[in-house]
Structure 1
Amino acid sequence: MLLVIDVGNTNIVFGVYDGKKLIYDRRIATDKEKTSDEYGMLFDQFFKHDNIEIEDIDDIIISSVVPTLMHTLPAMTQRYFNIVPIVIGPGVKTGMNIKYDNPREVGADRIVNAVAAYEKYGGPVIIVDFGTANTFCYVNKEGEYLGGVITPGISISAEALFLRTAKLPKVEITKPEKVIGKNTITSIQSGLIYGFAGMIDYIIDKMIEEMNQSKEDVMVVATGGFSNLISAETKNIKVVDKYLTLEGLRIIYERNKVSN
């Protein structure tokens, strides 16, 4: 079986594949201070709780946007799984031509999402990932990664309001009943949910316009923690794919396994 691990700034999402089937997935908080042993014990506890044998894991692939964990997690997999993982980065075959000024600048998660989206939905496709940062990626019909957009995510925007103002409270990120808030909390919630939905649609419109495409011809896929909440209020997002990143890791693993 294959263990896939996606390390984000806020969460680490991991899953286990039996062939092409995802049979298990979990999400834990990213902690840059944890040691490889602490992560090893954490994975061990999860697996034991859910009756998964570490010995059944044959291979591991990791993507990470957190540099401080780029040594920690591979060290953990070698010690606790006795497996040297594939780590998304230079030298790893993705099957996608990255048309960025400096391809090394593209976050591993963005590449993994783009590979999965093109494989599953074809192109042209726009991928919107709702994470600590919101990322928008454009892949053309030929499967080339052309670039995208990065904005602050909804969580850090809400946190900034709380930290940088004297009287605004910290609020739960949830959809209010009406756009026009009747109190401070619902007013902030409205600004976050509907403000981000409007921004998402506007950026997608501009990307499609810039590429001289019609909306009917471009697939728009969302993923990430707040994808269901925000996508429901947008006009352009056509599919929410919760497991897009995990699928991308599996696909890249298979391409490298074959190439080796």
Structure 2
Amino acid sequence: MLLAIDCGNTNTLFAIHDGEDWQAQWRSGTDSTRTADEHAVWLSQLMDLHGFAFKDIDACVISTVVPQALFNLRNLSRRYFDAEPIIVGENGVNLDMEVRLARASEAGADRLVNALGARGVYDGPLIIIDSGTATTFDVISADGAFEGGIIAPGINLSMQALHAAAAKLPRVAIARPQKVIGNDTVSAMQSGVFWGYIDLIDGLVARIKEEHGQPMTVIATGGVVSLFDGASQTIDHYDPDLTIRGLLQVWKLNGGQA
């Protein structure tokens, strides 16, 4: 079985694929100081609840945007699964994708993995929106190349910034308000962040399409993307499995047998 690990700035996703389908997925808060042994204790308990054991895992693929976490995740694979992990972005790892950036090395592993997860499922050209700590808008050409995109602050980051920078503004949960005009501080903050964020998405998608000059399919993924369902006018598909599907593709491209 394959263990796919996607380590983001806020959360780390662990998912098991049995060669035919995804069997289980778990998330933990990202902590770059968490050792391989600490990962193993947490993961072994969750795997046991689903009827899996470490001996069932014989392959591992890792994507991370937190370089400090990679050492421990690599050791987790080597020590507990006896598997040399495939690391997205390392020399020799085939992604079968042209990166049309001024400096191709600057393309984040998560963004490339999302592009792989979208190719072959959706007709291009594509805009992929990944909403996490940051929100990225990535453009994939009709021939499957990564052309670049936009990086904006994530919705949670925007809400935290309001609370941290303004002494009298409280910490509030992100929610879709019933009205645009808030009648108290909390509803006003929620409206400003939520609808401001929706307009950011729809506005940037419109600008990308205008600049690209042809129809594009828009796919959204990420931890808070379900909040936008029915609110955004430009998102065509919500795909929570985009990243792990991309990791599976990386594994296949580098000798893995599904």
- What is the TM-score of this pair, normalised by structure 1? 0.96
Q: Does the CA-based 8 Å contact 1:223-1:244 persist in structure 2?
A: yes
Which position in structure 2 is the counterpart of 1:240? Answer: 238
Q: Does the CA-based 8 Å contact 1:196-1:230 persist in structure 2?
A: no
Amino acid at match of 1:235: Q
CA–CA distance in 1 between the matches of 2:33 and 2:178? 40
Which position in structure 2 is the counterpart of 1:68? Answer: 68
Please tell me whether residue 38 in structure 1 is matched to residue 52 in structure 2. no
- Displacement, 1:160? 0.7
- Displacement, 1:49? 2.1
CA–CA distance in 2 between the matches of 1:92 and 1:32? 23
Which position in structure 2 is the counterpart of 1:167? Answer: 168
* Structure 2 gap segments, 5+ residues each: none
- Displacement, 1:26? 1.1
Which position in structure 1 is the counterpart of 2:133? Answer: 132
Q: Does the CA-based 8 Å contact 1:222-1:231 persist in structure 2?
A: no
- Displacement, 1:40? 1.6
* Matched residue SS, 1:175: coil
CA–CA distance in 2 between the matches of 1:145 and 1:110? 9
Q: Does the CA-based 8 Å contact 1:40-1:77 persist in structure 2?
A: no
Q: Does the CA-based 8 Å contact 2:58-2:82 persist in structure 1?
A: no
Q: Does the CA-based 8 Å contact 1:93-1:255 persist in structure 2?
A: yes
Amino acid at match of 1:184: T
Amino acid at match of 2:231: E
Which position in structure 2 is the counterpart of 1:157? Answer: 158
- Displacement, 1:258? 6.0
Amino acid at match of 2:86: I
Which position in structure 2 is the counterpart of 1:84? Answer: 84
Q: Does the CA-based 8 Å contact 2:94-2:253 persist in structure 1?
A: yes
Equivalent residue in structure 1 for 2:226, among 211, 225, 228:
228
CA–CA distance in 1 between the matches of 2:96 and 2:43? 30
Which position in structure 2 is the counterpart of 1:15? Answer: 15
Q: Does the CA-based 8 Å contact 2:7-2:64 persist in structure 1?
A: yes
- Displacement, 1:119? 2.1
* Structure 1 gap segments, 5+ residues each: none
Deviations 1:39-83 (A, max 9, x none): 121111211122212111121100000010111100111111111
Q: 1:225 to 1:28 in 2, by over 3 A?
A: same
Which position in structure 2 is the counterpart of 1:96? Answer: 97
Q: Does the CA-based 8 Å contact 2:219-2:236 persist in structure 1?
A: yes
Q: Does the CA-based 8 Å contact 1:8-1:66 persist in structure 2?
A: yes
Q: What pairs with 1:171-186 in structure 2 (closer than 5 Å)?
A: 171-186=172-187
CA–CA distance in 1 between the matches of 2:219 and 2:168? 37
CA–CA distance in 2 between the matches of 1:197 and 1:20? 36
CA–CA distance in 2 between the matches of 1:39 and 1:53? 14
Between the two proteins, the alignment pairs up a number of residues equal to 256
Please tell me whether residue 50 in structure 1 is matched to residue 50 in structure 2. yes
Amino acid at match of 1:51: G
Amino acid at match of 2:242: L
Amino acid at match of 2:206: D
CA–CA distance in 1 between the matches of 2:143 and 2:20? 24
* Matched residue SS, 1:23: strand
CA–CA distance in 1 between the matches of 2:116 and 2:21? 17
Q: Does the CA-based 8 Å contact 1:32-1:69 persist in structure 2?
A: yes
Moved more, 224-233 or 250-259: 250-259
* Identity value in percent: 39
Deviations 1:116-140 (A, max 9, x none): 1112113101100001000010001
Q: 1:258 to 1:45 in 2, by over 3 A?
A: closer
- What is the TM-score of this pair, normalised by structure 2? 0.96
The RMSD of aligned alpha carbons is 1.2
